[in-house]
Structure 1
Amino acid sequence: MTFPDEIIANILTRLPPKELVRARVVCKQWHALTSEHLFMYTNLLRSNAGHPVIAGFFLNDEIHEKFSYNPLLRGYSSPDLSFIPTTADTANSETYVSSSCHGLLLCRRRRRIDGELGVYRARHYVCNPETMEFFEVDVPAGAGGADQYLNLAYDPLKSRHQYRIVARGHDGIRVYSSRTRSWRTAVRYDGRCRRSPFAGLRHPRGVFWNGSLVWAMLSPRLLRFAIDSGELSEMPLPPRLRSEGWFHAGWVYAYVGESGGRLQVIGYTDEERRAACFDVLEMRDDEGEWTVLYRVDLTRVKELYDVPGDDGARVARVTLEHFSWGGAPLHVVRGPGEAGRHGVLFFSVPGKIACYDAESRAVSVVWQDTATTSSPKHVLSYTWFNFYAYTPSFLRL
């Protein structure tokens, strides 16, 4: 007697994560059903009582040589990246995450160039920690060759067996396809020119959304690259920013991200930054309309936070993304359903990462830097481009 796929999938989603991995080897039908990204996401929701989730997150700070994975859900093992090979030219370097997209990671290991003192390049690997598979990608020299220019693009709901890498170099944009195992030049420009489309880029890390890479700029605007068509364009601003008054009020993008197929941005004026009260804005699709997902009020957190005093302690790397008291938004997880308002916001304070529940307004600490207790003078406060959300996938590379 055989059962329809829907019934078997419904049963399998109720298994604990470790048992689910074992169930995948029972037969080809079960293996195929559990390989779907939607199945994995459903299983995650069930294991967390339907609340919006990510399995965990990587903290990536190559400047200060800090890298860690921090689990958020019980029952899911932490990804181990030790399967990424160590070669002769990378023996003295660590593995860092350059991009994370729907269960796939783009990692890099710095390598020394023989005969050139102090000159380094990097080896780049696309990997799936869940299946422990990896593939080394040869990045063209003209693409910049550095991880801060590379972004992973993978949408399992549209093309489950294909991922792409977008490389933003000094002379143009190149796109790598896993299907052809090759690069193509999509856009050419002169990055040294003031009229370069990326002049005024806030950070090289882009966000994959709706078939495009989106970057935040220093001025209140977003730059979008459509991967299939190769078109570069500016995205429309939220309505209140279209007035000259808001521009001169010092409004800046503090966060750009994707969750639930929507694009989310967080920005604030200097006044809102000091008050730690701001809106999470959202764009659904190509209609170009921004809506308020929910409003965040971190006033109480600001009051409770012990601001470093004059005893020598300081907050490192405080940028425009940070609040005046050292905090910064890190990642928005959209709530379930069309409204999506019952989600969560991860944000940082020096030495800690906390989670804000948009429905209850409760705040909980999900990570704390143990090194700060012994060395309070070197407390780090992370920003959104140090934070890489992770949710497992069974995609085979």
Structure 2
Amino acid sequence: MVNTRAKTKRIRNTLQLRISKSKGSMADHQPTMSATLVASNDDLITQILRRLPVTSILQFKSVSKHWRSLLSHRRFTLLYDRLPVTPGLFLRNIYVPFDEENRSTPPFRSLDFCLDLCGIRIVQSCNGLLLCCSDRGHMRARKYYVFNPTTKQFAIVPSVPGGMDVRKTIRFMGLAFHQTDCPHYKVICIHRAKPDEDLFQIQIYSSETGKWKISDQTFSAPYYTSFTAGVYWNQAIYWAPSCINPSYFKLDVEQLQKLPLPMQVTSSGGYQEGAIPHYFGECRGHLHLVERHDHDENRLNLNVYEMKSDHSGWFVKYQVELDELPLAYPEMMHSYLHPSNPYYYEFQVLDVVRGEEKEEETFMVVGIPGKVIRFNLKDKSFKQIFDLTNIIYGRFGHSEVHRYIQTLSSF
């Protein structure tokens, strides 16, 4: 990643120099053409400021009312957020920066943006916004929040209509947000239509209307159906394909659609009832699914699949070999007692991050016992970026890993 500190300093000094020249010239009633241009041309100021890191943008909002209005305008935020910056991820509310050499400041020390006696935890990350909820207590009493960790703005999501009978049967709460195709965030709730029945109902909350809406779409599913790893992509909510009939929910038409699986996975029987992939998520407009391509626990060969833009199927985007990792980190090797299967590898794919500007910058974030590793998918280089020793014990599930994306979007 590019070191932005020197870049920020240069741009900031340029701005301060030009603005001071402008003020001095106007005081002398002899403004120069260049100073006047910088001081009065919003387009030029926008082009300069959009190159600054988000922390500087937030600081420059205090320069004047005009700058605050300019930097808060949707035109600027769309321009700034066009190329998302993903400096790290959260593991159980712990911030893990992707760049060990240029560590970014944690967006928060604790989730205390709102007083909740049960504490607050992250449920889902979606294009810079976090869906959070009460950390403890029964499902029927939990409160839900939408939080922008970059700007510190938050909103309380109204309770799902229907009273306790509905709230105690909630199976999924997910967030849909995108700066262009879904600028007003939506919260999707799946719950039983009636207690003790296998008929499910979908309700949608819109920040634009401030109201919940009951979708006409209902569906039947076994009680053990898992709605895990909800991901928003291409105007739809997807769930990790962990059941026999995987599906996704198209928000524009409010319909459930069948989610195709990679051919190799379906033909080999890799997705059996209750199985989940190593990773399922979205990055910079691409939906990814990661699985072992031979389904052998003793091998470290992975396929990174990408969904076609028309939802028709998957193709292999990357083939990854992690065979060098156990040599560098032997703690990820564990022994079986059975002689025919002497050992297995303990690791988790936490994230797949596409390059900000170049394909060569694409990397995979891998969790092994006590450590987080960054693995480049092109040159196969890797390095430790975080030490989890004495911080997190045991494995962490898909629902505990959330990417941090910087966004200036407001709601």
The CA distance in 2 between the partners of 1:57 and 1:249, in whole Å, is: 27
Q: Which residue of 2 aligns with 1:164?
A: 186
CA contact (8 A) 1:33 1:39 kept: no
The CA distance in 1 between the partners of 2:236 and 2:81, in whole Å, is: 24
Q: Which residue of 2 aligns with 1:70?
A: 96
| 1:391 match: secondary structure | strand
Q: Which residue of 1 aligns with 2:205?
A: 176
CA contact (8 A) 1:293 1:341 kept: no
Check 1:306–1:159 CA distance in 2 against 1; reply closer, same or farther (3 A cut): closer
Tell me, yes or no, if structure 1 residue 130 matches structure 2 residue 167: no
Check 1:123–1:145 CA distance in 2 against 1; reply closer, same or farther (3 A cut): farther
Check 1:220–1:307 CA distance in 2 against 1; reply closer, same or farther (3 A cut): same
| 2:277 match: secondary structure | strand
Shift of 1:328: 1.5
| 1:21 match: secondary structure | helix
Q: Which residue of 2 aligns with 1:99?
A: 124
CA contact (8 A) 1:142 1:170 kept: no
Shift of 1:359: 1.5
CA contact (8 A) 2:145 2:157 kept: yes
The CA distance in 2 between the partners of 1:284 and 1:327, in whole Å, is: 28
Check 1:146–1:257 CA distance in 2 against 1; reply closer, same or farther (3 A cut): farther
Which protein shows a greater Rg? 2
| 2:264 match: secondary structure | helix
The number of equivalent residue pairs is: 347
What letter corresponds to residue 330 of structure 1 in structure 2? L
Check 1:329–1:148 CA distance in 2 against 1; reply closer, same or farther (3 A cut): farther
TM-score by length of structure 1 reads 0.76
The CA distance in 2 between the partners of 1:325 and 1:271, in whole Å, is: 13
Q: Which residue of 2 aligns with 1:57?
A: 89
The CA distance in 1 between the partners of 2:84 and 2:280, in whole Å, is: 27
Tell me, yes or no, if structure 1 residue 235 matches structure 2 residue 262: no
Tell me, yes or no, if structure 1 residue 185 matches structure 2 residue 214: yes
The CA distance in 2 between the partners of 1:24 and 1:186, in whole Å, is: 40
What letter corresponds to residue 36 of structure 1 in structure 2? T
Tell me, yes or no, if structure 1 residue 32 matches structure 2 residue 73: yes
What letter corresponds to residue 56 of structure 1 in structure 2? G
Shift of 1:20: 2.5
Over the aligned positions, Cα root-mean-square deviation in angstroms equals: 3.2
Check 1:24–1:220 CA distance in 2 against 1; reply closer, same or farther (3 A cut): farther
CA contact (8 A) 1:200 1:217 kept: no
Unaligned ranges ≥5, structure 2: 1-35, 194-200, 336-342
Q: Which residue of 2 aligns with 1:109?
A: 134
Shift of 1:365: 1.7
Name the % identity: 22
Tell me, yes or no, if structure 1 residue 389 matches structure 2 residue 403: yes
The CA distance in 1 between the partners of 2:376 and 2:229, in whole Å, is: 26
What letter corresponds to residue 119 of structure 2 in structure 1? E
Shift of 1:31: 3.7
Check 1:396–1:295 CA distance in 2 against 1; reply closer, same or farther (3 A cut): same
Superposed CA offset, 1:168-225 (max 9, x none): 11221111100011111125547xxxx51x6664453311110111112334763111
Superposed CA offset, 1:19-73 (max 9, x none): 32222344233443785144145484xxxxxxxxx2221112xxxxxx3222335
Shift of 1:364: 1.5
Unaligned ranges ≥5, structure 1: 45-53, 61-66, 113-117, 311-322, 373-377
The CA distance in 1 between the partners of 2:295 and 2:182, in whole Å, is: 43
